[in-house]
Amino acid sequence: MGYNTLVIDPPTAGRRLVAELPAAGVPVAAAFWGQRDEGDSWNLYVVTPAVDGVDARPTYRVLDQVLRPLAEAGQETIDGMAVRLIGTDTPAGRDATAAVAGLPARGRWLHYGGHFRSGTGMRVEFLYAPAA
């Protein structure tokens, strides 16, 4: 059995969200569209120090507060259930921040098309390098 195909336009679907989160108090170290295992759905993983070693529920409430007005305004956004907030201290979070650290292009989505090395088995298609 193979991996599911990513059928949305990730740079468009996640762009507004990762741009709005810092203004709402959630810093973004990196973001990526990832799939954990074969057959799993694609999720937008947002790497943020806001959830390092703490309860992530308050940060998910902020995420909802950012997504709601985007959806109400009719702007293209993503379902909040497809967003995963992960810490910079997690294996996938470390892999993502290391991957964007050396990139010259900042503040945009880049095609990555590979797997992270940490042994998470995470398949990654698009990676976001936040503006410096």
Q: How many domains does the chain have?
A: 1
Of all helices (H) and strands (E), which one includes residue 18? Answer: helix 10-20
Inside any domain, residue 78: yes
Inside any domain, residue 31: yes
Inside any domain, residue 4: no
What's the angle, vertex CA 47, arms to CA 53 and CA 104, rounded to 5?
135
CA distance 8 to 44: 11
pTM recorded for the entire structure: 0.85
Q: What pLDDT, on the 0 to 100 scale, is given for residue 77?
A: 66
Q: What is the DSSP annotation of 41-106?
A: PPEEEEE-GGGTTS-SHHHHHHHHHHHHHHHHTT-----GGGEEEE-TTSHHHHHHHHHHHT-S--
pLDDT digit of tens for each residue in the chain (132 aa)?
A: 344 454 455 556 677 888 889 999 999 999 998 888 777 788 899 999 999 999 999 999 999 999 888 777 766 667 788 899 999 999 999 989 988 887 776 677 777 778 777 766 788 888 888 876
Q: What pLDDT, on the 0 to 100 scale, is given for residue 132?
A: 62
Inside any domain, residue 5: no
Domain containing 120 equals 10-129
Q: What pLDDT, on the 0 to 100 scale, is given for residue 14?
A: 78
Q: What pLDDT, on the 0 to 100 scale, is given for residue 131?
A: 75
